[in-house]
Each structure stands twice: as C-alpha cells, then as structure tokens.
Amino acid sequence: MQRPEPRDEVEMLALMLLIRRFEERASQQYQAQKIGGFCHLYIGQEAVVVGAIAAVRDDDYVITAYRDHAHALARGTSADACMAELFGKETGCSRGLGGSMHFFDRSRHMYGGHAIVGAHVPLAAGMAFASKYRTEDRVTLCFFGDGAINQGSFHEALNLIALFKLPVVLICENNLFAMGTSVKRSTSLKQIVDRAEGYDIPGEIVDGMNFREVRDKLAEIVCSIRKDPHPAFVEIRTYRYRGHSMSDPASYRTKDELEKYRLDDPITRLRAQLTREGKLTNEKFDQIDKHAKETVLAAVKFAEKSPELPLERLYDYTYVNSVVAGVSPAKSKESAADTAATTR
C-alpha cells in the first residue's frame, strides 16, 4: 500500500499559522461580543491536527469533539465559512446553526464538532464500520480529549471497535486538563495510552508539539490500517495555552508551566527545523504570517456582512429528511428541497 505523497511542510506550517491567527481573532471577536455561546480555542495544539491530516487522504473521515475550529480549517474548510459559523451566520459551515462546537463539512469528510464529551466515539465506530462494510480503504480519525477516556460511551465504542477490527485511529489529544481538572486527578492510569491495552488495541505515545513526529507516526499507522483494517490508539501529548473556554482564566496552573510549553511551541519548532534545513527564510515566514492574518481579517468582514438564517428555518436540518417524512409541517417547500439535498 502506497503512502500518500508527503504534503509540503511549508504549506503545513502555513496551515498551523492560519489556525493560530484564526483562533486569536476568534478570541478578540468573542470579547467584542460578536460571537455567542461557548468558544474553545486550540492555540498550542496545532501540530496535532495538522500532523494527523498531513498523514491521511482527503477522503478519509474526521470526527472530533467541541474544540473543533482547527479540524475544519485543517480539512480545508475556508476561514470565511468557519468565522461565519462562529458569528451564527447562514454562510457558516453549519449554516450558523451549530456555532463554535458544531463545525461540520460533509464535502471534506469532517463530521463534527460534538459537544457531549465522549459521545462522538461511537459515531466514529459507525463511520469506520460503514467503510469496512463497503470494503473501502478509508480510515477514520477520531479526535477526543483526555476527559473523554473515562466516559461510558468511550468504553462501549472501544470494545466494538476492537471486536470488529474497525479502521479507526483513536487520537487522544492529551492537553493535561479536562476543564480545570488535571488528568492526574481524573484518571487512575499512569499514562492514558494504557487505556487501549484493556481493549487489545495497539497504542503509542506521540509528542504533540512536534509536527513531524505526529505526521510520521500517523502515516505509519494509517498505512498499516489500509493494508489490513484494525484500530490504533495514539496518546498525543500537547498543551492548550488558553483556558478551557473563553470564560476560564486557567488559574489552576502556574505561569511557569505555561511558559515551559510556550518555549516548545509547535509553530516555532517547525519554523526552526525548516530554517535550519534551508527550506524557509525569515522573509518567507513573515509573508506566510501576513497572508494568514489577512485571510482571517477578511473572514471577519465576510462573517459580519453575511445574513443570519431566518428564524423560521431554525429547526431545519434537525432530522434527516424530516420535512419529506412530514415531521415538520411548518417548513416551506423550498426548505424541504434544501433539506433533502443536504441530507442525501
């Protein structure tokens, strides 16, 4: 089985920068009250999703929890559609109905954005079951936080995933905290990866601040899954620089701890590696960064200008083909056709 062509590392650095600048701008717009509801930022964790996405094909499946802006951006959803979703606008990737925690882009095989901790792991099992049943060689990447590994749904799903030898990479983004609770206080294991052993799923620990390590380990695992479907578990050790959500001052950790991880920043690290190897100059880096900042600013303008979804369409897309099945008689014909088109 051939691995996909390695993705250009400067492009991957640009993607990490786009995510970082997007999140910084989202934070600012949240504080300006342009964004409602919850908002969880991914700053510090960029190498995890970009490394993983660099290791798979565009038609592989991706599903994640609520810290999901980066997963959509890494999959190729535009900054415009992502920002508009945060603003609750019709042009958003979930038509403004999902908000920060429910990004979705079926055309890029990004299946959410799920707010209930651990609840999407069974969905990943179903997606992987479907691809195995159809004898497709797709792999499902299921991202979740360290807080998910003690949920019942996680255990039930892992049992079935192992039993049916489903082609899933279970990616635990271990950023050391579930809200304000340290993993040491919530989990009886010395290391999270040992959870996989209980289900006879092979597991590995990966340095999530190192893009190359994430990409190479994931590429190896994905290649082996395509040859012979089976699950794998990776505990990717990372760190979120900001609080759990916008309202969290993160007073449960020390400045020294934060500083230690900032010094190991995944973007700075990849930049240094590429510069050392003569693949990147300071000028090129500045140019990439400028482009990322401009893209995100343009996305804010796009989101501001975009219309809100009309109130009468609030319940659209709640159930598959609900209008067609006559569940929601209040909907217009136009809306019904739209629903049918999007749910097919």
Ligand X SMILES: Cc1ncc(C[n+]2csc(CCOP(=O)(O)OP(=O)(O)O)c2C)c(N)n1
Closest residue by Cα to residue 91 from 103, 100, 80: 80
Which DSSP symbol is given to 37? S
Q: Determine which residue in the list 8, 59, 116, 198 makes contact with ligand X, applying CB under 6 A.
A: 116
Nearer to ligand X, 75 or 242 (CB): 242
Strand partners, 233: 170, 203
The runs of H, that is alpha helices, within the chain are: 9-31, 46-53, 69-75, 79-86, 121-133, 152-163, 183-186, 194-197, 211-227, 255-262, 266-276, 282-305, 333-343
Which residues, at least 6 apart from 225, have a Cβ–Cβ distance to it below 8 Å?
139, 167, 169, 231, 232
Nearer to ligand X, 67 or 215 (CB): 67
Q: How far apart are CA 131 and CA 144, in angstroms?
A: 21
Structure tokens at 15: 């993607």
Nearer to ligand X, 113 or 147 (CB): 147
The piece of 29-37, 142-150, 218-226, 324-332 that touches ligand X (CB under 6 A) is 142-150
Q: Does 179 bind ligand X (CB under 6 A)?
A: yes
The piece of 125-133, 177-185, 203-211, 332-340 that touches ligand X (CB under 6 A) is 177-185
Note whether 295 and 25 are within 8 A (CB). no
Q: How far apart are CA 159 and CA 156, in angstroms?
A: 5
Q: Does 238 bind ligand X (CB under 6 A)?
A: no
**What is the footprint of ligand X within residues 4-23 (CB under 6 A)?**
none
Q: Which residue has the tokens 């294991």?
A: 189
**What is the footprint of ligand X within residues 143-172 (CB under 6 A)?**
145-148
CB of 110 to ligand X, least distance (A): 17
| CB closest to ligand X, residue no | 145
Q: How far apart are CA 285 and CA 9, in angstroms?
A: 12
CB of 176 to ligand X, least distance (A): 8
CB of 281 to ligand X, least distance (A): 35
Nearer to ligand X, 115 or 300 (CB): 115
Q: Per-residue x/- mask for ligand X, residues 62 to 101, rule CB under 6 A? A: ---x-x----------------------------------
Q: Determine which residue in the list 81, 178, 193, 206 makes contact with ligand X, applying CB under 6 A.
A: 178
Count residues near ligand X (CB under 6 A): 14
Residue 237 φ then ψ, to 5°: -85, 120
CB of 12 to ligand X, least distance (A): 22
Q: How far apart are CA 21 and CA 287, in angstroms?
A: 14
Structure tokens at 198: 């209980």
**What is the footprint of ligand X within residues 296-325 (CB under 6 A)?**
none
CB of 178 to ligand X, least distance (A): 3
Nearer to ligand X, 250 or 272 (CB): 250
CB of 252 to ligand X, least distance (A): 13
Which DSSP symbol is given to 110? B
Strand partners, 144: 172
3-state helix, strand, coil in the chain (%, to 5): 45, 10, 45
Q: How far apart are CA 211 and CA 208, in angstroms?
A: 7
The piece of 5-13, 86-94, 112-120, 131-139 that touches ligand X (CB under 6 A) is 112-120
Q: How far apart are CA 173 and CA 143, in angstroms?
A: 7
Nearer to ligand X, 22 or 177 (CB): 177
CB of 150 to ligand X, least distance (A): 9
Nearer to ligand X, 116 or 320 (CB): 116
Q: Determine which residue in the list 117, 166, 168, 292 makes contact with ligand X, applying CB under 6 A.
A: 117
* Residues lying near ligand X in the complex (CB under 6 A): 65, 67, 115-117, 145-148, 175, 177-179, 244
